[in-house]
Amino acid sequence: MKLTRVITAALLAGSVAAPAFAGDDAVLNSYAHTGSKGKIKVTLYGQVNPAMIYIDDGLDSEMFFAMNDASSDRLGLKAKGKIDDKWSGGAKIEYQFEQSASDKIEFNDASAGVGVTPDMRKLEFWLENSDLGKISLGLGDMASNGSAESDLSGTKSLGYANVDAHLEDVNFVVNGVRNGAQIEDFIKMEDGHSRQRRVRYDTPSIAGFTASAAWGWQQGANNNTNTAVGGGAIVRDEYLYDVALRYAGEVAGMKVKAAAAHAWNLGATKNNDVTDLSVSVLSPMGLNFTAAWEGRDRPTGQVDSDVYYTKLGYQTKELCDWGKTSFAAEYSWSDDFNNTQGNEGTIIGLGVVQKVKALNSELYLGWRRYEAENAANTAFEDIDSITIGGKVKL
C-alpha cells in the first residue's frame, strides 16, 4: 500500500473513531500501518484536554468550558523507518484544535477563542544516525522551544514555566472597570522561538547531554501567509537562530532534567534576544523541585525584562490504585515586563493531578491567583481561577 493512501485512510478513520477507542490497545494498534514495501511504520496519535475553569476577576465570576491550552487538543501521524543499522528516518504531521482555548478567554468577548479551524503544529521530515545525530527539516520545534519547561513534577496540566499558556487574555479590573490590561501584559514566557519552518540539528546523547541548533523563519499567523504572528509583514531575510543544551539523567540517585537556550531575532521587530534556563529534580521519595528563568534583552533605549518560576511538589503511588498522585505549589514573578519599567506580575498556584494509568489519562484540580503592579501603583484587582479537567492521550 502506498504511504499516501495509508496517511489518508488513517486520518479519516482516526478523526472519526480515535477518541471513542482511547485506552483500547487492540483498536489503537489497528491504526498503525506499514508503508511502501513494509519499511515505514505510520502511527496515529493524539490527545484531548477539556476543562471547566471558574474565573473571578474582582468584578464578575463565571464558569468557562474550554480546551486547556497548557496542552492543547491535537491529532497527528508519525512515520518511522530503518535504513540500516545506524540510519533511520521519518516524518510527523500534527494538528491542534484550538476551539474555546483557555488562553483566549475574555469576560468581555463570549466568542473569544471559539475557533474550529485546525492549526498545523508540525510538518517535518527527519534523518538520524546513531553516531552523528539528527537533522530535521520543516515545521517543528526550534532548538530553544521547551527550554524553559523542564518539569518532573507530574503537574504540567495545571501549571508550568510557560505561565501564560493556561490563561493570558483575561483583563484586570481597576476601580470596577476592566481597563484593557491583560495577564500577558505583566507576565509571560516566550520560551524561545516555539515552532517554526526551520532546519534543526541535534547531537547524539552523550552522558545525558544533547546539544541543538536551528535556523529558520517565523511561521505565519495562518501558517501559509507572510504575516507575522501579531500582525505585520515578515521580512524574509531576517532569519531566526537559536541554540540549546539539554540534560536528562540521574545525579546522586535523583532524576534530573535541565535545559539552557539562547534565541536571536525574537519578536515582531526581530531585535530581541531571549535566554532560557530550567531545571527539575525528582527524588526517590517523590519530592521534587522545579525552577526556571527567562531574560529578554532588548535594544538600547528599551527595557530588559526577567521572568522567574519555581515549583515544589510531591508524588506518591500510595493514595490511589489508579496511578500516581502528584501535588504541587508554584510561584512565578516578573520584573520590568513588556518593555515597561515597573511592570510586575505574580502567579501563585496549588494543584493536584491524578494519573489513571489504565486509560493513559489524568484528572486534575488546581487554583491560581494572578496579580499585577505597575510604576503608577494602579489598583489592579487580583484574578483567581479554579480549573477542573482531564487529559486523555490516544
* DSSP letter assigned to residue 294: E
Distance CA 346, CA 107 (A): 21
Which parts of the chain register pLDDT below 70? 1-38, 109-117, 219-238, 267-270
Kindly compute the dihedral angle of the four CA atoms of residues 220, 171, 329, 251, in this order, to the nearest 10 degrees: 20
pLDDT tens digits for 259-295?
999 999 876 566 789 999 999 999 999 999 999 999 9
CATH class assigned to 3-393: mainly beta
Gyration radius from the chain CA atoms:
21
**pTM for the whole thing?**
0.85
**Helix ranges (DSSP H) in 114-202:** none
What DSSP string describes 361-388?
Answer: EEEEEEEEEEEEE-TT---BPPEEEEEE
Distance CA 347, CA 29 (A): 42
**Helix ranges (DSSP H) in the chain:** 3-17, 25-29
- Type of residue numbered 298: R
Instruction: Kindly report the number of other CB atoms within 10 A of residue 61's CB atom.
Output: 11
Distance CA 109, CA 263 (A): 34
| Cell numbers placing 39 | 519499511
Question: Long-range contacts: 360-363, Cβ < 8 Å, 24+?
Answer: 360/22, 360/23, 360/392, 360/393, 360/394, 361/22, 361/23, 361/390, 361/391, 361/392, 361/393, 362/157, 362/390, 362/391, 363/389, 363/390
Instruction: Kindly report the number of other CB atoms within 10 A of residue 250's CB atom.
Output: 11
| Cell numbers placing 176 | 470596577
**Domain assignments of the chain as residue spans, ordered by start:** 3-393
